[in-house]
Structure 1
């Protein structure tokens, strides 16, 4: 039985699908749900330039505290899915490193991520978060189908 479930979110709609799946599982098992978001701080000039280039994906770099904003929104999804015992963790660093390290620190029994990136060319060439997490994590990993893969 899972006692601690850690799920990664970046504030995107697809990551919230993974959060909802993890929250439902946490509610069903009585597990603590840890919502995790990795971030890399940016200078304001770089943040503005990146937001201009990213367009619809600007949420990843805009705002005063993007990781905290993503976690607050993820908490709402988790509560809606039935999770009761929820902890938040915003950590500086690469997403894979942060998720694997947090899973170890929090003694997570299950690490949940979305499948975004698994079917992309960039994901195949550079490695995707779900793929890399599944190879590095020392606990069970659940990859939730959050995209159509097309």
Structure 2
């Protein structure tokens, strides 16, 4: 069935549920699955650095802290995975990664943590569905 799965996470409740679905898929598989966990960090704009004194390293550290619950679930289930933290537009980055690295499936929550997503429900997952060449499992 699936040999390569890309799990997009951000630590949100929907992201945790997406992780739980991936665990089920991996545990029910008759063969090993190559799992990559990806977290997309929004680029820090110069205006944010000046106005809010946001440092790029703080954004990366915050991203790593947010996805710890996802990684803890995978470790507790003994699911091997690799982790990637990328910067950029989340929807485009996840879809491009899925396409460029020939993933068989992308698993993503319906909506995440950033402020824009709270206004436009599912904007990242919708972008991934439109752009990815492989199946996308959206978990709510």
Instruction: State the TM-score, normalizing by the size of structure 2.
Output: 0.75
> For residue 91 of structure 1, what is the aligned residue in structure 2?
86
Tell me if 1:108 matches 2:103: yes
Separation of aligned partners in 2, 1:113 and 1:64: 20
> For residue 27 of structure 1, what is the aligned residue in structure 2?
27
> For residue 120 of structure 2, what is the aligned residue in structure 1?
123
> For residue 4 of structure 2, what is the aligned residue in structure 1?
4
CA RMSD of superposed structures (Å): 3.1
Q: How many residues align?
A: 131
> For residue 76 of structure 1, what is the aligned residue in structure 2?
72
* Offset of residue 35 of structure 1: 0.7
* Offset of residue 100 of structure 1: 0.7
The C-alpha deviation readout for 1:44-86, integer Å capped at 9, x for no partner, is 99479499xxxxxxxxxx6661222234432112223x35220
If asked which structure has higher relative contact order (CA below 8 Å, sep 6+), I would say 2
Instruction: State the TM-score, normalizing by the size of structure 1.
Output: 0.71
Separation of aligned partners in 2, 1:72 and 1:39: 15
Higher mean alpha-carbon deviation, 36-45 vs 101-110, is at 36-45
Gapped regions of structure 2 (runs ≥ 5): none
Structure 1 residues 139, 50: CA separation in 2 closer, same or farther (over 3 Å shift)?
A: farther
Separation of aligned partners in 2, 1:64 and 1:24: 29
Separation of aligned partners in 2, 1:66 and 1:121: 19
Gapped regions of structure 1 (runs ≥ 5): 52-61, 146-150
> For residue 136 of structure 1, what is the aligned residue in structure 2?
131
Q: Secondary structure at the match of 1:37?
A: strand
